Amino acid sequence: MFVPDYEKTQKLVEIADKSTKRDIIEAINCQKFGIKEFAVSLSPLIDNEILRMVAGRSTLLTRKRFGRAVSLYIPLYFDNRCTNSCVYCGFNCRNDVERTVLSYDEIIKEAEIIRHHNFKNILLVAGEHPESSDIDFLVPVIRKLHELDFTCVSIEIAPLEEEQYRTLVKDAHLDGLYVYQETYNREIYAAVHPAGKKNNYNWRLATAERAAKAGIPKIGIGFLLGLGDFREEAVNLAQHLSYLQKHHWQSEFSISFPRIRNASGINNSFTTVKDRDFVNLVSALRLLFPEVGMSLSTRENPDFRDAVIPIGFTNLSAGSSTTPGGYSKNGQAEKCHLEQFDVEDSRTPQEIAETLNSKGFDPVWKDWE
């Protein structure tokens, strides 16, 4: 099992803190860009000129590996009940909001609306509740989604046992899993997850490995930007991904970059990562992992999303609703108090596709079969 090497992380951050601008430029241009160079490329001394340099190299690497194709996906929220008390999340079980869970028929209705918008890549999302992670419920849902011609069906739900993941792969052809550690810092993790099964740091950390052992083809990881020091989190994420690629190379791994956003009734005292640090993080990770997919959600506002797509992103969510049943009203995402977080980019899928086309990118509605 992967365990963060905090001593190594601190040494790398200290090296970055002591680096000069010359050290940073040498690291960015290094032919063998490793974990040390990665840490240095996140140095506080990085100015706008160096940031443009690292972002430019990141853009070139992304085009070289992925061309101009950008895959579009959409989340389908089907249950906002949760047994955890994550202080940053609108689904917090202590949050006094209306709870709703979609039936099998309601999920399929939402999915049919989504298919009408050309999507073939769908992500099932729910709060961490035992009923929403019941594989006897999930298997027929995932099977039906494939029958509706979704070529890639992924889940973002409560972590499961290895055998449960294995069943979803074998009996329902589950294609992908997204699971975020939120923070690799154990003290912060305990503070922001005061109650619920998610309070178990090690259980969550091992989820990606259980999924890989079970044969899930695609696995996305990441941390919630805004909980801990983003450089320490980034170094730990890099070590985690390197471990997974080495020991579970049969699965394809990707990175997501969720930033804390407001939601009804949650703690809004967090200081989120600045835009320039976000760009720096994406660019540095691309230099370290030139062949890894990177996902950008509708947590980000339209202008920022449009600006950073070329830097490293290969997957975009579009037309998203974080409300269970949010697509049923006139076939459009509905915004209400049931949502997990505020959606910043409310453009329709077609508008985002047109934007991609105008920038010379090719929007792809399906994943590989």
| Chain segment 119-136, per-residue pLDDT in tens | 999 999 999 999 999 999
User: Using 50, 70 and 90 to split pLDDT, how confident is the model at 225?
Assistant: very high
User: Using 50, 70 and 90 to split pLDDT, how confident is the model at 272?
Assistant: confident
pTM score of the predicted model: 0.95
Element (H, E) at 165: helix 162-172
Distance CA 54, CA 27 (A): 10
> In the chain, pLDDT over 70 holds for what percent of residues?
93
Distance CA 310, CA 68 (A): 9
* Domain locations along the chain: 67-364
User: Of 21-25, 168-172, 343-347, which gets the smallest average pLDDT?
Assistant: 343-347
User: Using 50, 70 and 90 to split pLDDT, how confident is the model at 268?
Assistant: low
Query: So what's the pLDDT on residue 271?
Result: 76
User: How far is CA 154 from each of CA 180, 242, 304, 325, 341, rounded to the nearest angstrom?
Assistant: 14, 22, 26, 18, 20
* CATH fold for domain 67-364: TIM Barrel (3.20.20)
Query: So what's the pLDDT on residue 335?
Result: 46
User: Using 50, 70 and 90 to split pLDDT, how confident is the model at 236?
Assistant: very high
| Chain segment 64-116, per-residue pLDDT in tens | 999 999 999 999 999 999 999 998 888 889 888 889 999 999 999 999 999 99
Distance CA 308, CA 304 (A): 6
